[in-house]
């Protein structure tokens, strides 16, 4: 008890220091609320270059991420809300959210593990999406600000939480380095055999959140292959070559260049909403997943991961109904996500890299979003 009071005090002290010299427009008070009897707050990470990341322990969400353009002008490049109420009231778009237990879709919300069939909530008819009705994005995480540039978030997900077996202990670390890398690491252990696929669902717009669409952003993916889907966005099981299709991003191409092509996969995804298979010799090695360059501002973002795949989604479901930070609407295709992950619906595809976590094993995953200018 005494230790937790001390940790809370340190966290508040860091928060207070962080408030000075900050370019953030959001106010930490707007996130100070009890949910399920647990304290929710806003925490700020900073590095020596003036980059700032605001995170709330409600859903482990990245609320704001300030990065400079080529002239040093700071802009908030992630979608989100000014207050906790924004997240609680709006339709769930998973802005900045930590996703678990299973990032992406599981077909018809069912899977078999060791001959036992498990049933999950169908929250994205006819499938289960991003951990179900009350996934990790809606849970209050325990939080410790370890340093001005580092936050640790912890969560215990009980046995059969949202239908998933095993009590799961998750530790997620957010660190902002002086090389302008936002490093996310995940560790987890389960008391029973289970499946796990954790990711972060930040939506980026390198013009700045709410400043137009992302069709002019140049995307490059380190992926020769992708996993095509059916009309409900469940992988067919094939792993297809991207060459010669609108899914070839092996050289930088504007996101909008081929998005209106006549293509069944683009029709099913309503645009890009697909898992790309990252080229790597060793499946678990940290490797470049891709990069995005926005020529006007010069902002450049690279994504590295230990995961075998990355979901490239370009905001096809955004409607601009819920007003985001500073009252800006987030309209159709005004952001992109690069969600590092195992492949969608892997529990039902034995040929895909395994997502099974057994007692005694430690789940490890890392994702780095690195910012610079060109």
Residues that bind ligand GAL (CB under 6 A): 93-94, 129, 233, 273, 311, 313, 317, 337, 339
Rounded to the nearest whole angstrom, what is the least distance from the CB of residue 320 to ligand GAL in the complex? Answer: 14
Cβ proximity to ligand GAL, 24 vs 367, nearer residue: 367
The answer for residues whose C-beta is within 8 angstroms of residue 288's C-beta and 6 or more apart is 222, 278, 302, 303, 304
Instruction: For strands 218-221 and 253-254, give the pairing.
Output: antiparallel
Contact indicator for 42, 55 with CB cutoff of 8 Å: yes
342 a catalytic residue:
no
Q: Which of 166, 48, 149, 75 is nearest to 113 (CA)?
A: 166
Which residue among the candidates 93, 162, 307, 339 is catalytic per the annotation? 339
Between 76 and 339, name the residue whose CB sits nearer to ligand GAL: 339
Could you tell me which of 193, 201, 146, 134 has the C-alpha nearest to residue 171?
146
Q: Which of 130, 201, 207, 342 is catalytic?
A: 201
- Closer Cβ to ligand GAL, 268 or 363, answer by number: 268
Give the whole-angstrom CA distance, residue 159 versus residue 166.
4
**Residue 140 Cβ, how far from ligand GAL at the closest point, in Å?**
21
In whole angstroms, give the CA distance from residue 267 to residue 150. 41
Cα 111 to the chain's mean position, in Å? 23
What's the min distance (Å) between Cβ of 207 and ligand GAL?
21
Please, which residue, 307 or 339, has the CB nearer to ligand GAL? Answer: 339
Task: State the minimum distance, in angstroms, from the CB of residue 305 to ligand GAL.
Answer: 15
> Nearer to ligand GAL by C-beta: 14 or 272?
272
Token duo for residue 341: 């992950």
Q: Minimum distance between the CB of residue 270 and ligand GAL, rounded to whole angstroms? A: 8
Rounded CA-CA distance 263/250 in Å is 19
Nearest Cα to 222, choosing from 308, 284, 297, 147?
308
Catalytic annotation present for 339: yes
Catalytic residues: 201, 339
């Amino acid at each position: 008890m005494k230790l937790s009071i001390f940790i809370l005090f340190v966290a508040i002290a860091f928060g207070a220091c962080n408030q000075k010299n900050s370019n953030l427009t959001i106010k930490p008070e707007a996130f100070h609320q009890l949910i399920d009897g647990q304290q929710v707050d806003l925490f700020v990470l900073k590095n020596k270059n003036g980059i700032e990341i605001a995170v709330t322990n409600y859903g482990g969400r990245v609320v704001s991420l300030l990065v400079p353009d080529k002239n040093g002008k700071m802009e908030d490049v992630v979608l989100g809300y000014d207050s906790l109420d924004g997240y609680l009231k709006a339709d769930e778009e998973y802005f900045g959210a930590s996703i678990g237990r299973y990032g992406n879709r599981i077909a018809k919300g069912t899977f078999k593990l060791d001959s036992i069939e498990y049933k999950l909530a169908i929250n994205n008819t006819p499938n289960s999406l991003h951990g179900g009705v009350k996934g990790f994005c809606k849970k209050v995480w325990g939080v410790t600000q370890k340093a001005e540039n580092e936050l640790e978030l912890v969560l215990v997900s009980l046995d059969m939480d949202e239908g998933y077996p095993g009590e799961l202990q998750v530790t997620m670390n957010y660190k902002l380095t002086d090389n302008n890398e936002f490093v996310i690491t995940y560790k987890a252990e389960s008391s029973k055999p289970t499946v796990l696929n954790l990711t972060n669902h930040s939506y980026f717009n390198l013009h700045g959140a709410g400043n137009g669409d992302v069709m002019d952003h140049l995307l490059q993916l380190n992926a020769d292959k992708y996993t095509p889907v059916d009309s409900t966005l469940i992988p067919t099981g094939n792993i297809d070559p991207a060459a010669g299709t609108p899914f070839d991003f092996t050289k930088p191409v504007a996101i909008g260049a081929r998005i209106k092509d006549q293509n069944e996969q683009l029709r099913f995804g309503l645009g890009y909403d697909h898992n790309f298979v990252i080229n790597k010799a060793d499946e678990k090695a940290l490797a470049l997943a891709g990069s995005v360059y926005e020529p006007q501002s010069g902002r450049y973002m690279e994504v590295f991961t230990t995961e075998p795949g990355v979901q490239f989604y370009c905001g096809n479901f955004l409607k601009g109904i819920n007003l985001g930070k500073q009252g800006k609407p987030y309209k159709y295709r005004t952001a992109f996500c690069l969600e590092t992950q195992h492949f969608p619906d892997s529990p039902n595809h034995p040929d895909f890299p395994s997502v099974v976590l057994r007692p005694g094993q430690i789940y490890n995953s890392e994702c780095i979003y690195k910012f610079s200018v060109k």
